[in-house]
Homo-oligomer: A and B are copies of this chain.
Amino acid sequence: MSERKITKVLVANRGEIAVRVIQGLREMGVRTVAVHSTPDRTALHVLVADEAYEIGPAPAAESYLRGDVLIATAKACGADAIHPGYGFLSENAGFARQCEAAGIVFIGPRPETIDLMGNKLSARHKMLESGVPVIPGTEAAVRDPEVAKKAAAEIGYPVLLKAAAGGGGKGMRVVREPAEIDTALRQTMGEAKASFGDDAVFIERYIENPKHIEVQVLGDGEGKVIHLFERECSVQRRHQKVIEESPSPSLTPELREAICSAAVRTAESVNYLGAGTVEFILSQDKEFFFLEMNTRLQVEHPITEMVTGTDLVRAQLRIARGQGLPYTQDELRQRGWAIEFRIYAEDPAKNFMPAIGRINSHIAPSGPGVRVDSGIYEGFDVPIYYDPLLAKLIVWGEDRPQAIARGRRALMEYTLHGPGHNIPFHLWALERPRFIAGTYTTNFIDERFDPAEFQDPLPDDDREALLTAAALWEARRREAVRTGDSPASTPSAWRLDARRRMTGNS
């Protein structure tokens, strides 16, 4: 493959992933172009880019999903390539084709690959051909409730309804009995239409209590494919990942070898170009089935980077430039253990309902083994229009117990005030015996999570400290109102006096 010049890249995304891609490109000396909807003018990815252009109003369909505007913007500012991030147009073959036609490099796989893998049915066929195990299910899209009921009866309940064009956990529903099919099909089709513009849904056997294992792959588009080992992403709510780890605590070396080989076979079957992820479902009796292939960078890619000592954005750019794979399979080793915690603006105590609002405080944790990929800053207003992912906390440890302990330490250090968020959920999860043992499955949250546990009484120490602090806060506030001082400046006298008292000099 001949080398292609890429010196300026338009990042067709927002939030933490746009920031991370910009950071990676900048480190390679590439000029970075951000795009944004109207309310995202002050979003972090816009602030940190070299250039930024507005592409439309708030709704994604009128901004981040406007392929024509993105390509016109790239042409106008002289960008050689577009990095799509994840979500939005990252798995849109039509957009990839339009880029190609406009002479702009689409940093991702070939459009045919996106087409093939983006449709769950064609992907299934390809896997059957290549000898990669798949879950039993319908071979065609289903729209009619009666047809759906018939298919479900054949497959056997419980079944899973899935948007054919879906991804990222959206547009999926479990159905346990025929009576639920009608509503579930309507809702799933509605979400599929709203999210992906395509209401095709298909039905497959629902594996009870499975684990979600996925394998990171890189392909050079000329037949060479390597894998960067697995990630386990079984902690999910509403079918969306919340905590991911690498390695998986569920794999023996033999099973790891088998599942990574299957992933390489999957990518080889389409002569894969770029970075991709092959997702598998692992049953309780350690059978694994192909779930889908995500033909893009994954939210949880940092845990792979930390364990393998790689940089996947750099790898993507090198491959897009036609410089081939940056690593050989032999060079790659898993070292230590990494866990990612997705920090969402949502209320875990209210069924993970999304939250919005201004970020009043954001002091991210730091120190050994801690990485934070953030899309926010103090004073930023989290908009309602997009995914509520604020930041990702990634921790690395020498082994799994250290990674868990470090995660706990970093989550306790994390200061985040403003919209509700799920840090309390993460701390809860890290204390569950099933999580600590590594035996949790995708039903972990549904089965184990009880919001009432957040209302557990505080230890006496903490409760007293909290009440004391609240009373002192109120005393300070009233003093500030009375004197006209800003609250931050008044209490220095207290500090001095308290100090004097401690040393016994008063």
Chain B residue nearest to A504 in the complex (CB):
B54
Please name 19 further chain A to chain B contacts, defined as beta carbons within 8 Å, in addition to the given A311-B398, A326-B398, sorted by A numbering. Answer: A20-B368, A23-B367, A24-B368, A27-B397, A27-B406, A29-B405, A38-B503, A48-B413, A54-B502, A54-B503, A309-B336, A310-B398, A311-B397, A364-B364, A366-B374, A368-B371, A368-B373, A371-B371, A379-B488
Residues of chain B lying within 8 A (CB to CB) of residue A42: 495
A283 within 8 A of B: no
> 8 tightest A-B contacts by CB?
A27-B405, A366-B372, A309-B335, A23-B367, A54-B502, A27-B406, A27-B409, A26-B409
Give, as a whole number of angstroms, the nearest-CB distance from A396 to chain B. Answer: 8
Instruction: Give A374 to B413 CA distance when docked, in angstroms.
Output: 13
Interface residues of A (CB under 8 A from B): 19-20, 23-24, 26-29, 38, 41-42, 48, 54, 57, 302, 305, 309-311, 313-314, 326, 335-336, 363-364, 366-374, 377, 379, 397-398, 402, 405-406, 408-409, 413, 488, 495, 498-499, 502-503
Q: A219 → chain B, closest Cβ, in Å?
A: 19
Q: Which residues of the partner chain B approach A54 to less than 8 Å between Cβ atoms?
A: 499, 502-503
Neighbouring B residues of A311 by C-beta, 8 Å? 368-369, 397-398, 402
Complex partner residue of A371 from B19, B370, B488, CB under 8 angstroms: B370
Q: Is the CB of A368 within 8 A of B499?
A: no
Q: What CA separation (Å) do A54 and B409 show in the bound complex?
A: 25
Given contacts A335-B309, A398-B314, contact A19 B367 (CB under 8 A): yes
Write out the residue numbers on chain B whose beta carbons fall within 8 Å of the beta carbon of A379: 488
Give, as a whole number of angstroms, the nearest-CB distance from A469 to chain B.
Answer: 13
Instruction: Tell me the bound Cα distance from A374 to B367 in angstroms.
Output: 7
Q: Which residue of B lies closest to A39 (CB)?
A: B499
Residues of B with C-beta under 8 A to A371:
366-371
Contacts of A314 in B (CB 8 A): 398, 402
Q: How far apart are A486's CB and chain B's nearest CB, in angstroms?
A: 8
Q: 28 interchain pairs (CB within 8 A)?
A: A19-B367, A20-B368, A23-B367, A23-B409, A27-B402, A27-B408, A28-B405, A38-B499, A38-B503, A41-B502, A48-B413, A54-B502, A54-B503, A309-B336, A311-B368, A311-B369, A311-B402, A313-B368, A314-B398, A314-B402, A326-B398, A335-B335, A363-B377, A364-B364, A366-B366, A366-B374, A367-B373, A379-B488
Name A498's closest neighbour in chain B (CB-CB): B41
Interchain CA distance A408-B28 in the complex, whole Å: 11
Partner of A398, one of B309, B369, B409: B309
CA gap between A305 and B370 in the complex, in Å: 13
Q: Which residue of B lies closest to A315 (CB)?
A: B398
In whole angstroms, what is the CA distance A377 to B378 when docked? 14
Residues of B within 8 A of A366 (CB): 364, 366, 371-374
Residues of B within 8 A of A41 (CB): 495, 498-499, 502
Q: Tell me the smallest distance from the CB of A398 to a CB of chain B, in Å.
A: 6
Which of A311, A368, A495, A502 has the most chain B CB within a 10 Å cutoff? A368
Question: Chain B residues near A24 (CB, 8 Å)?
Answer: 368
A225: min CB distance to chain B, Å: 20
Return A502 CB to nearest CB of chain B, in Å: 5
State the CA gap A29–B406 with chains docked (Å). Answer: 10
A402 contact set on B, CB distance < 8 A: 27, 311, 314
Q: How far is the CA of A502 from the CA of B41 in the complex (A)?
A: 10
Which residues in B have their C-beta under 8 angstroms from that of A20? 367-368
